[in-house]
Amino acid sequence: MKVRIALAGNPNSGKTTLFNALTGSNQFVGNWPGVTVEKKEGKIKGYTSKGDEAVLVDLPGIYSLSPYTLEEVVSRNFLIGEKPDAIINIIDGTNLERNLYLTTQLTELGIPVIIAVNMMDLVRKNGEELDIERLGKDTGCKVVEISALKGEGIDQLAKRAVAIAKSGKNTYPAHSFEGCVEHAIAHIEEAIYGHVDSSMERWYAVKLFERDEKVQESLKLTKELLDHIEEDIASCEREMDDDAESIITGERYNYIGSIIEDCYKKRVKKQMSVSDKIDRVVTNRFLALPIFAIVMFLVYYVSVTTVGSILTDWTNDTLFGEWIIPGARSALEAIGCAEWLVGLLVDGIISGVGAVLGFVPQMLVLFLFLAFLEGCGYMARIAFIMDRIFRKFGLPGKSFIPMLIGTGCGVPGVMASRTIENDRDRKMTIMTTTFIPCGAKLPIIALIAGALFNGAAWVAPSAYFVGIAAIICSGIILKKTKMFAGDPAPFVMELPAYHLPTVGNVLRSTWERGWSFIKKAGTIILLSTIFVWFAQGFGFEGGHFGMVEDMENSLLAAIGSAIAWIFTPLGWGNWKSAVAAITGLVAKENVVGTFGILYGFGEVAEDGVEIWGALAGAMTQIAAYSFLVFNLLCAPCFAAMGAIKREMNNAKWFWFAIGYQTLLAYVVSLCVYQLGTLLTTGAFGIGTVVAFLLIIGFLYLLFRPYKESQKRNVPKSVSGKVSA
Ligand code: GDP
Ligand code: MG
């Protein structure tokens, strides 16, 4: 007989460890249809003979079956849609309270559930004991104690799980809600009778009671039926004086509290842990932000200013500048390579890719710090602290982490948005993360500040300010559109106890982020440097196509001239600036280098000090600032666009994001240039009128009222601090 068993549990409960122990290395890894969450499947060892087969499916780690995160939606779609023969619910024995929250929901699904209490080695070491039998009675499930890490209890678990899957005997929840809730649920079950699989009625009824929109949609209930259900819910809410979702959550936690009373044979006296004491200071209302500012200052001081820049300078100046580039050149010349090929290989490819790789050491140091902060638990606190602020303009606190990582590189920044609960919040974060100046935009800032503003100290901070303002305004404006209406999901995030992260985990996370940056250098930048090298070196000159003497005749100049008019209202409608902005789409660090080439300097320093004079002659200060703003806000580099595409997983949303960013960049730059010119020279023209109209439109979008549907009362931010 062939059975399929799902493995469900919280993140970090030991799912992967158990999965590997049960299946050996024999697994299939793919993606869930239509989403970018990993799907793992494997056969349980020892059950593959005699026509017997037990397939184990590793579900994404989740805390509940609500529809707030992609992981939750994927997991519950699998459980409901595919109805596995059994569920192994792995729970972390050292953290029963938090883990049992999911258990209370899994047992309502009408699928046989077996509980595997993991980390028993730690539980025993802590001097605690669990009463397995009571736990089984209280939850209505079979329970097995295991240590996935040490391989204890694994065989017994596999045997029991397969037996339960074959028996087809459902688990029934051993818990009932408060009278009026049960009353409403019974009514709802009656109302949906025949619409759903009969064994799953209770789960659907509870979800409908919670007004779960995804379930409401999927059942396609008539308006009448929904209204009828709504009456029951509303009367229960009146009786309990709370909203439906909170009633259910509250009751679940009461129930879990009673289970824990029952099962812990030897309870350690509860006292304030070290972690709690640290949190008293770190998440303190007044101290939290200053502490955070100091931590971030230190991180950036080390990774960008000191250690990072030493490493990056060494990579750029010594490794590439003195060894690789001259070495490659003389090697190629020694073997008699054609001059144009040496040019392509050395000046085009190696210098182009090298310029990007130069950022890698700096990036790795930054990612190392961030991985440590994430691993030790501080990042979760930052999200919690920022939630109070971000919520005011419609973003969840968790979107701060992608933005923070985005200051290094937008690619891992966009990828970090995966942890964000609800779909709308995540999409909005993906759209706005790259407004924050990433590491590669810093040279552009240095160039403009140096060339036109005498290196004024305010230019760089103003770039961050523009980025942050763009995020805040976008948050507010987008929230007021129908697409994004609705409050950010309430803050539910585990605040794990502080601990020293393992070296392996920190290094792995650092490497994964760094690697996504390096890959970009190897692929997209490689291709584009070849293209730019070709387009600037070739063109029509003297009536035929070939290598050009004068860059003004190159293909690149032709392209730039063809589109330069677009940027005239922004103050920099000349082909050189247009070309620089285009190569910036390939990679932002290209902008400075392109100016260098276009002004005839070939290789320039990172901040392009050689061309400051030429640039100052070509642009006014206002035009240059408008150029800077455009490059900061417009569509990010190709690699980051690729990341956006992957994470949006939908072509329409991808184009919407890119279009929105570019449009915003255009509008803001236009206003900067037109109003700046008006103020400095008094020049008034059609452009000025357009700028004023745009500003009025912008203010309208910013200050118009929220959509009606948003007035409903949504739970405030609550800390998910639920450790047992
Ligand atoms: P997942 O996020 O649910 O896939 O969890 P992992 O399998 O990655 O495990 C999280 C961490 O818990 C890892 O560091 C494991 O080594 C550790 N771990 C897993 N099972 C046990 C166990 O039974 N005992 C102990 N002490 N650690 C465990
Ligand atoms: Mg895992």
C-alpha 57 to ligand 2 mean position (Å): 12
In the chain, pLDDT over 70 holds for what percent of residues? 92
Query: Highest-confidence range of 125-134, 301-310, 451-460, 681-690, by mean pLDDT?
Result: 681-690
**Nearest ligand to the C-alpha atom of residue 63:** 1
Q: Which ligand 1 atom is at minimum distance from the Cα of 18?
A: 7
Q: Is 245 left (phi over 0), alpha (psi -120 to 50) or beta?
A: alpha
Question: Does residue 483 carry a pLDDT above 70?
Answer: yes
For the stretch 35-80, pLDDT in tens is 767 788 888 887 766 677 899 999 998 988 988 778 888 999 999 9
Question: Does residue 709 carry a pLDDT above 50?
Answer: no
Residue with tokens 């009786």: 239
Question: Does residue 4 carry a pLDDT above 80?
Answer: yes
**Closest CA to ligand 1's atom 13:** 14
**Amino acid, res. 142:** K
**Torsion angle of C-alpha atoms 247, 253, 259, 264, degrees rounded to 10:** -170
Average pLDDT over residues 615-625: 91
For the stretch 670-708, pLDDT in tens is 999 999 999 999 889 999 999 999 999 999 999 988 764
Q: Which ligand 1 atom is at minimum distance from the Cα of 90?
A: 3
Q: What average pLDDT is seen over the chain?
A: 85
Q: How wide is the angle at C-alpha 405 spanned by C-alphas 395 and 497, nearest 5°? A: 80
212: how many CB neighbours lie within 10 A of its CB? 19
Q: Taking the CA atoms of the chain, what radius of gyration do you get in angstroms? A: 30
Structure tokens at 218: 């999927």
Pocket residues for ligand 1 (CB within 6 Å)?
Answer: 9, 11-17, 61, 118-119, 121-122, 147-149
**Nearest ligand to the C-alpha atom of residue 7:** 1
Point out the least confidently predicted range of 104-113, 331-340, 421-430.
421-430
Three-state DSSP state, 89: strand
**Closest CA to ligand 1's atom 24:** 119
Average pLDDT over residues 212-227: 87
Alpha carbon 190 to its chain centroid, in Å, reads 41
C-alpha 535 to ligand 2 mean position (Å): 47
Q: Which ligand 1 atom is at minimum distance from the Cα of 15?
A: 3
**Nearest ligand to the C-alpha atom of residue 14:** 1
Closest CA to 285 of 191, 153, 384: 384
C-alpha 135 to ligand 1 mean position (Å): 22
Q: What is the spatial distance between Cα 477 and Cα 706, in angstroms, rounded to a whole number?
A: 10
Average pLDDT over residues 529-550: 83
Average pLDDT over residues 304-332: 85
**Closest CA to ligand 1's atom 28:** 149
Q: How confident is the model at residue 161 (pLDDT cuts 50, 70, 90)?
A: very high
**Closest CA to ligand 1's atom 16:** 149
Q: Which ligand 1 atom is at minimum distance from the Cα of 58?
A: 4
C-alpha 440 to ligand 1 mean position (Å): 37
Beta pairing, strands 27-31 & 53-58: unpaired
C-alpha 412 to ligand 2 mean position (Å): 19
Q: What is the spatial distance between Cα 280 and Cα 283, in angstroms, rounded to a whole number?
A: 6
**Closest CA to ligand 1's atom 17:** 14
| pLDDT for the residue numbered 83 | 92
**Measured between alpha carbons, how far is residue 182 from residues 176, 219, 230 in Å?**
7, 21, 15
Q: Which ligand 1 atom is at minimum distance from the Cα of 505?
A: 14
Average pLDDT over residues 360-376: 85
Judge whether 105 and 137 are in contact, CB under 8 Å: no
Q: How confident is the model at residue 488 (pLDDT cuts 50, 70, 90)?
A: low
C-alpha 14 to ligand 1 mean position (Å): 4
**Nearest ligand to the C-alpha atom of residue 145:** 1
* Residues, beta carbon < 5 Å, ion ligand 2: 16
Q: How confident is the model at residue 509 (pLDDT cuts 50, 70, 90)?
A: confident
Question: Does residue 223 carry a pLDDT above 80?
Answer: yes
**Nearest ligand to the C-alpha atom of residue 12:** 1
C-alpha 60 to ligand 2 mean position (Å): 8
**Closest CA to ligand 1's atom 2:** 12
Judge whether 398 and 493 are in contact, CB under 8 Å: yes
Q: Which ligand 1 atom is at minimum distance from the Cα of 118?
A: 23
Residue with tokens 């009278």: 179
Q: What is the spatial distance between Cα 106 and Cα 161, in angstroms, rounded to a whole number?
A: 15
Average pLDDT over residues 210-235: 89
**Closest CA to ligand 1's atom 12:** 14
Give the mutation target among 15, 17, 59, 144 for probing the ligand 1 site: most ligand atoms within 8 A of CB. 17
Look at 414 and 524; give whichever has higher pLDDT: 414
C-alpha 89 to ligand 1 mean position (Å): 14
Q: Which ligand 1 atom is at minimum distance from the Cα of 146?
A: 23
C-alpha 116 to ligand 1 mean position (Å): 13
| pLDDT for the residue numbered 266 | 61
C-alpha 373 to ligand 2 mean position (Å): 20
For the stretch 190-218, pLDDT in tens is 988 888 888 899 999 999 999 988 898 88
Q: Which ligand 1 atom is at minimum distance from the Cα of 17?
A: 7
Q: How confident is the model at residue 176 (pLDDT cuts 50, 70, 90)?
A: confident
Judge whether 136 and 31 are in contact, CB under 8 Å: no
Three-state DSSP state, 39: strand
- Helix ranges (H only) for 564-650 are 575-586, 590-598, 612-618, 621-633, 638-648
Average pLDDT over residues 311-335: 88
Question: Does residue 719 carry a pLDDT above 70?
Answer: no
Closest CA to 467 of 339, 629, 603, 238: 629
Average pLDDT over residues 104-133: 91
Q: Is 205 left (phi over 0), alpha (psi -120 to 50) or beta?
A: alpha
| pLDDT for the residue numbered 423 | 80
Q: What is the spatial distance between Cα 135 and Cα 174, in angstroms, rounded to a whole number?
A: 11
Q: Which ligand 1 atom is at minimum distance from the Cα of 20?
A: 7
**Closest CA to ligand 1's atom 22:** 119
Look at 476 and 610; give whichever has higher pLDDT: 476
C-alpha 363 to ligand 2 mean position (Å): 26
- Helix ranges (H only) for 107-222 are 120-125, 132-139, 154-167, 179-191, 201-209, 213-219
Strand partners, 5: 56, 86
Instruction: Work out the burial of residue 595: count CB atoms within 10 Å of its CB; fewer than 13 is exposed, 13-18 middle, 19 or more buried.
Output: buried
C-alpha 206 to ligand 2 mean position (Å): 29
Q: Which ligand 1 atom is at minimum distance from the Cα of 150?
A: 23
C-alpha 380 to ligand 1 mean position (Å): 19
C-alpha 360 to ligand 2 mean position (Å): 28
**Closest CA to ligand 1's atom 19:** 14
Q: What is the spatial distance between Cα 471 and Cα 432, in angstroms, rounded to a whole number?
A: 6
Q: Which ligand 1 atom is at minimum distance from the Cα of 19?
A: 7
Give the mutation target among 12, 38, 57 for probing the ligand 1 site: most ligand atoms within 8 A of CB. 12
**Closest CA to ligand 1's atom 6:** 14
Q: Which ligand 1 atom is at minimum distance from the Cα of 10?
A: 3
| pLDDT for the residue numbered 669 | 97
| pLDDT for the residue numbered 717 | 40
C-alpha 12 to ligand 2 mean position (Å): 7
